[in-house]
Structure 1
Amino acid sequence: MQRKGIVCAWLINILLLIAVISGCSGNTGQAGQDHIKGEVALASDFATYKDVPVNFSTAALDPYEVDPELANVTNKEMFQLSPEAKRLLVENGFVVVPNQHHREFFMLYEINLYDPVPSFITTDSMLHNYHLFFSHLLRVIEKEKLAPELKELTAAMLNISQKQYAALKGSDWENAARRNVGFFAVAEKLLDPQKTVPYQVEQVVEEELRLIENSAGICNSPLMNMGQDLKSPDTLQEDYSQYIPRGHYTTDELLQSYFKAMMWYGRMTFRLNSEDETKSAVLITSALGQSDLKQKWDKIYQPTSFFVGKADDLSYPQYRELLDKTFGTGAGLKDLSSDDKKWAAFMEAAAELEPPVINSIPIFEEDIQPDREGAIKGFRFMGQRFTLDAAVFQRLVYRDVKENSQGERRMLPRGLDIPAAMGSEEAYTILKNEGATQYEGYPDNMNKLRQYIAGLDKGIWTQNLYWGWLYTLEPLLQEKGKSYPSFMQSQAWNRKDLNCFLASWTELKHDTILYAKQIYAEMGGGMAGVDDRGYVEPNPHLYARLAALVDMTRDGLEARNLLAQKDRDSLDRLEQLALTLKTISEKELSNIPLTDEEYELIRSYGGQLEHFWLEALSDIGVDHRSAIDENPAALVTDVATDPGGRVLQEATGNIFEVYAVVPVDGSLRIARGGVYSHYEFSWPLSDRLTDKKWHELLNSGQTPPLAGWTKTFIAQ
């Protein structure tokens, strides 16, 4: 009963989003909102999110200004800043300076220890720590648990599909059964190239594999359109560039093959507007009804749901329930293929199922294919997942928004759309000033999204690790009032926080590139005697949420026996570090002196970061910092696709230095820390960037420019 409630709340969550964007209102929407608010602990399939309280005295800090010549800064002689950097430091109380030598956060903080200079511990560095472990844990689980299960499940499904095909040969269901043989044969071949393809589908499987291997871009799918008119606008098109392994899936051959097979299972849609494709989906559902196979399917689907979320498309649970209701529990192939009346009833009932919120299928323009729902609604074997950010993107590109006054279509979103929808006025102002909001329908859709997101219950925000990560980032969007240090009360700091939000979100998208649905528009020791006491960026709400997220990660994976002891120990240590930084932040904001132990933690922070880095990369053979050049923090991921031939790339680069004038024991000093660098740019669809290619661009100096709005806080 508990799981039923969880699924119900998740479905209502999606229904409410559709209603909000469509401008619908009424009692049903309110009832749905009330139901959501009544649900708690949506992650209880795996673990419960436990709040960490935050307490500090408001307005305890006295405001301060930085002297134009830094006369009131005690350690100004330790730093050589350019005139522009000094100007921003005086004006804003902090400045970010690009650096091309810091490949990881720990490198910068260890330099601080040996120089020695006061360290400024940033939210950026802690969020990056969580990314390292999120990626590590997912990678280990995929290699050790999910990939073997997927091979066994695929082999079993192929075997049953062949038996179904033999039984249905000569009937109206023959083509659908043959399609399934090809469907699972493609996946098996992707998982193990040595496997033999059944002769009945050998040619069409080879055609699919060739398109996947060549990353052929947007083409008609030979297998899915089997027996259909390929000249019709109703043919199913697939974007084969999506099968380029990216993210952490490039690290070994097992993960590369797993990536391709899961991408195949996550993207290929058996559409409801095709009776023949729906027959294929029903046959898959019937085959998966065997308890041992359903358990294998669950062993893959449930852990990935904990990391990323539930499938956005129709899937086994909906079809199973509908089949049992229409044909009766335990109906066999003969029952399915011989009772036309019940089949018609099934098709009619299936048409009432809710469509996906996110379109990840390349479809034609509105005048050619006006029924978008019919074009994208259908069954996926292991469908990619609904995420809030993808839903936001979907409602802010064509066809949900129309042309601007120049007749241009918004074919790709902007990363800033996400914080703007989550309530950031600064993000929306930047978008507006750059002309990104001047498309018909954009302001209206953005307002609806903001209203929807503002009303989300904490239970929704913490339903899985993906949503929990976004929830952890939300304090970055809150403007800092008088209870915060002077350097955090400027527009420049708001923009620095936006940069941090976008970079950490980029790491989230990078880590979940395989599972999260992508939207498509249509078509050592210091020197003695030196006072190097540092400072923690005081954002206690973020550290509290991060500690709670780490706790949920550990408890959820441990409950399913998916966590090794050494990883549990690392998560324990990461949680404790986040809690300690929360406590230090509360003291700083309450003007309470730190202890010697707390100052020592700040001083030794680089060593802790190096430990976390080594532990998080241990599964790929990293055991020494000398591997930093091959494993830098920089990464790249694509987050949206324009079928016209471009993708939106989000990337992080080298670690930049931040200098902040901070109060320590009643006087001002400069502390140095590390922050993300972030890049956003469009790129050819046929060449979706891998981390390796991005690193080559970084090393050659061919990076795209930083966003113009970052000039308020970044200076050479």
Structure 2
Amino acid sequence: MCYQGPCFNRCGLNGNHFIYMRKADMNSRLIVMLVVLVLLGAAVVAQAQERELNAAGGRLASTALPEMTPARFAPAPPPAPAIPPAGINEPGSLVNTAYNYDQVMQFLGVTLSPAQETYLAENRFLLLDVRDTSLKELAGYNYYNFDNMLAFLDAVGGDEMDPSTRAPHNARLITPDPLLHAFHRFFENTLEYLEEYELGHMLRLFLAEAQAKAFAYMEATAQDRPLYDRYHEIAAQLTVARVLLENGQWHEEPQYAGYGEEPQPDDMDTLQNARGLMSEFSMKLSPEMNERVAAELELIYAASQIAPSPLFGQYDETIKSDYTQYTPRSHYTKSSALRAYFRAMMYLGRNSYILNSSEGAGDALLMAHLMAGTMSDGRPLLEVWKEIMDITSFYAGPSDDIGYPEWRDFLVQVLGTDQIEPRMALDPDVQAAIAGNLDQLRPPRILSDVVVRGDIGSLDKEALLQETKAFRVFGQRFTFDAWVLNQLTAGAESTDAPLPSTPSALFVPAAMGDEQAREFSGIFVQDTSDAFSTPDGANQFLNEIDKMGDKLARVTEDEWFGSLGSVWLKLLSTLTTPYGEGYPLYMRGDNFQTKQIQTFLGSYTELKHDTLLYAKQSYAEMGGPDWDNLPPVPMGFVEPNMAFWYELDRLIEYAEAGFRSHGILEDQLEEWGTLGWFKQQVAFYTTLAEKELRGEAITEDEYEELRTMSLSHMAAPIIPGSVVDEDERRVALIADIHTDALAGQILYQATGEPYVMIAFVENEGTPRLVTGVVYNHFEFTGPLGGNRLTDEDWRAIVYDDPASLPPTNAYYQDILVQ
């Protein structure tokens, strides 16, 4: 059954296998049913495996490892244009001369305290807690209120359909915040849609076929006990992955409850149910292996401790698995299918075949041989693997660990042939050749393992990364921010300069050039560790930040434009520069730079939330209007950060090209599709910002469009007609970005209800207040042990028990005035 939108028609095969076919007409909105004859019984798989066995003696045949180059979804767009000279000339009038001052305060339902009045007068902008204003009530609920933050901005502009109701308080302020938040909603919605109705089914096909091959190879090598034992191990590892993935309610298309009906429970993904699924395969595994599988499943579903992996721990006993990572979080809590996908991909992404171990390298060779085989329908198994990797890499980035393409090329180079015969995995000469050439393989750049060993104090991070060099089936992804945090932290390993074991997300904008974030980072480390209590200690650390800044400066455009996630991070770098002459006065002060940090980290939190699974962790009807006597058009304002607007346009262009090249979500790219319309809106905001910066007049029509333009469509569900409940409209979310095994704590980033921002501007000789919405960012630590915090946990605090919120981070205190 295929569904409206992107990608594939699917048909069942043996209950768990799926055939994927591209839609002939991507523009058609018809539901297409493709029926295929059902092939029953194990004979289907058995016949496929026979092609890979020699006729003589059942010996496994050699297989040519095909080359596999990850697809680049889209090239880097053309460079951004030069930023025009800044020419805004504000005379510096008193804030209370704003012609709409009283109307704005009345509209928001606030009376400023003396401290707030003073702050606004001195800084020319002010942040207000949305709970202290009337915006929540004014936004209310309507059919296109898919997101509270965007609805609040809509409410500022007033009735978009009736210009006779417009008033001076409807002057909107468009900062980067709502645009970044709107992109986050589109990014997450599309990824969630693809995972539940595309990628999850692809992964089911991959694992069903891979597991069947492993069991067939076990049978074929029954007379070769050492090789049989290796396939026995691999079969068990793949069985756990398959049980994790199948333990959810998978559907071909969205399921809706009938009118007046309650939705069916969607909570089948329990350990008990996993045990039931496991019983289908237990007869193929030895009693001892069944015990190990059961232990692995128990640890995964408990998701509460750090422990040796029963199925992967043998490759390196010093590496422990962090099972708390298996707590489904982000959008993966919404259905049993998404939770199942989360656990399976986390399992395949974090578990390693350690290459310094002859057993690990041998099993990695066998996995490559297995993956190079064909499926029961004759197609290459790698075809499905590549499709999954290409799409997820487009969103989250390339694997940080060795994947099939690099491992294949290494084996061909070292062994002198692309023909791999399984018994090579046990050949001492092959093992020696692999071990002697491992330095040709790049190490990971992010340490994401819990390493427990007595000599760790004599090893530096580079040595640890070399020793944890590994092959992973769907390895977690490299991200530039995790690289920064990983390089600027240390556990018990040796370091040249003192480094904290738990970082602050401030380190990321600091390394990207934000001087104020750099200053705050120095204060952070001084407050958290005695090692930095002296000026020398703090300066040593700041020098390390500068070194990372130098490394980031050498990152090429092609590297930044390697995934949507990295381009998003690059976009945030446009928020790290101070503003001088020719810009609005409210943008020139130090406190505005602090506000920019909050915008950076608020959007950064959403980026980490959306890619949490993949990214490798460092560790009214009224009378008709009088059209001849309309009220004056409110004069809004677009924040003229031209670097931001230009780079946002490049991000959209990259996303559009990537989706189109891979035939994904093409209906979203049309002129009135979600991304297509967003592109036009960004172009409009960019034009207005340019005109403001040049001191050019903005027309009444442009001001009216600025008042009425809505970004709420970016949060609309990908599936038309989906019901968006109150929890989904809420914008508060949480992501864990670093695990400190040494201190036993987890670093969290979170967003709360947005702030309302009012700013005083005077362009075009009109002193006025403009109103917008901006991020509310939190950073705090929690204990390592037990389940990690989810969006549901965090929202219960933000919306139901705000008195329990963590204290405001010290670096924000100067911009939050009561």
TM-score, normalising length: structure 1 = 0.86
Q: Which of these two proteins has the greater Rg computed from alpha carbons?
A: 2
CA contact (8 A) 1:634 1:653 kept: yes
Deviation at 1:458, TM superposition (A): 2.3
Aligned pair partner of 1:378 in 462, 470, 474: 470
Amino acid at match of 1:576: Q
CA contact (8 A) 1:466 1:508 kept: yes
Distance 2:675 2:450 in 1: 40
Q: How does 1:614-653 map to 2 (within 5 A)?
A: 615=716, 617-619=717-719, 622-623=722-723, 627-643=725-741, 644-653=743-752
Confirm or deny that 1:237 pairs with 2:351: no
Match of 1:706 in 2: 808
Report the CA distance shift for 1:334/1:106 in structure 2 as closer, same or farther (over 3 A).
closer
Q: How does 1:306-455 map to 2 (within 5 A)?
A: 306-329=394-417, 331-333=419-421, 335-337=423-425, 339-364=427-452, 367-368=455-456, 370=459, 372-373=464-465, 375-399=467-491, 410-436=500-526, 439=532, 442-455=541-554
CA contact (8 A) 2:488 2:499 kept: no
Deviation at 1:91, TM superposition (A): 0.6
CA contact (8 A) 1:658 1:672 kept: yes
Confirm or deny that 1:177 pairs with 2:279: no
Confirm or deny that 1:691 pairs with 2:791: yes
Deviation at 1:159, TM superposition (A): 1.4
Deviation at 1:395, TM superposition (A): 1.0
Match of 1:600 in 2: 704
Amino acid at match of 1:76: Y
Deviation per residue, 1:236-267 (Å, 9 max, x gap):
31011101111111121111111110000100
CA contact (8 A) 1:657 1:673 kept: yes
Deviation per residue, 1:77-106 (Å, 9 max, x gap):
121322222111111111111123647222
Larger deviation, residues 97-106 vs 684-693: 97-106
Report the CA distance shift for 1:368/1:711 in structure 2 as closer, same or farther (over 3 A).
closer
Amino acid at match of 1:548: R
Confirm or deny that 1:295 pairs with 2:383: yes
CA contact (8 A) 2:227 2:423 kept: no
Listed as ranges, the gaps of 5+ residues in structure 2 are: 1-68, 106-110, 137-146, 159-166, 248-276, 375-379
Confirm or deny that 1:83 pairs with 2:181: no
Confirm or deny that 1:575 pairs with 2:679: yes
Q: Secondary structure at the match of 1:238?
A: strand
CA contact (8 A) 1:105 1:609 kept: no
Confirm or deny that 1:128 pairs with 2:181: yes
Distance 1:525 1:89 in 2: 38
Report the CA distance shift for 1:64/1:687 in structure 2 as closer, same or farther (over 3 A).
farther
Listed as ranges, the gaps of 5+ residues in structure 1 are: 1-41
Deviation at 1:618, TM superposition (A): 4.3
Confirm or deny that 1:266 pairs with 2:349: yes
Match of 1:281 in 2: 364
Distance 2:758 2:654 in 1: 33
Q: How does 1:94-173 map to 2 (within 5 A)?
A: 94-100=125-131, 102=136, 104-114=148-158, 116-169=169-222, 170-173=224-227
Deviation per residue, 1:404-431 (Å, 9 max, x gap):
99xx972211010000001111101112
Report the CA distance shift for 1:665/1:338 in structure 2 as closer, same or farther (over 3 A).
closer
Q: How does 1:662-677 map to 2 (within 5 A)?
A: 662-677=761-776
Q: Secondary structure at the match of 2:729?
A: coil
Match of 1:48 in 2: 75
Amino acid at match of 2:687: T
Aligned pair partner of 1:480 in 573, 579, 588: 579
CA contact (8 A) 2:88 2:763 kept: no
Deviation at 1:346, TM superposition (A): 2.2
Amino acid at match of 1:270: Y
Larger deviation, residues 348-357 vs 49-58: 49-58
Q: How does 1:509-520 map to 2 (within 5 A)?
A: 509-520=608-619
Report the CA distance shift for 1:672/1:525 in structure 2 as closer, same or farther (over 3 A).
farther
Aligned pair partner of 2:299 in 211, 214, 234: 211
CA contact (8 A) 1:366 1:399 kept: no
Aligned pair partner of 1:73 in 86, 89, 98: 98
Distance 1:247 1:149 in 2: 21
Identity of aligned residues (%): 29
Report the CA distance shift for 1:694/1:586 in structure 2 as closer, same or farther (over 3 A).
same
Aligned pair partner of 2:636 in 529, 534, 557: 534
Report the CA distance shift for 1:264/1:434 in structure 2 as closer, same or farther (over 3 A).
closer
Larger deviation, residues 210-219 vs 362-371: 362-371
Deviation at 1:592, TM superposition (A): 0.7
CA contact (8 A) 1:61 1:484 kept: yes
Distance 1:491 1:204 in 2: 57
Deviation at 1:342, TM superposition (A): 2.9
Match of 1:189 in 2: 243
Q: Secondary structure at the match of 2:647?
A: helix
Q: Secondary structure at the match of 2:88?
A: coil
CA contact (8 A) 2:500 2:525 kept: no
Deviation per residue, 1:641-697 (Å, 9 max, x gap):
011431101001101100100124302101111000000000122231111111001
Give the structure with the larger helix fraction: 1
CA contact (8 A) 1:355 1:377 kept: yes
Q: Secondary structure at the match of 2:170?
A: coil
Deviation per residue, 1:599-645 (Å, 9 max, x gap):
1122113xx222222x2x34496446xx3444311110000001143
Q: Secondary structure at the match of 1:479?
A: coil
Deviation per residue, 1:300-344 (Å, 9 max, x gap):
011111111111111211221222234454534455156432332
Amino acid at match of 1:434: F
Match of 1:34 in 2: none
Aligned residues, how many?
657
CA contact (8 A) 2:401 2:470 kept: yes
Distance 1:46 1:537 in 2: 31
Q: RMSD across aligned C-alpha pairs, in angstroms? A: 2.7
Deviation at 1:402, TM superposition (A): 6.9
Confirm or deny that 1:660 pairs with 2:759: yes
Report the CA distance shift for 1:262/1:46 in structure 2 as closer, same or farther (over 3 A).
same
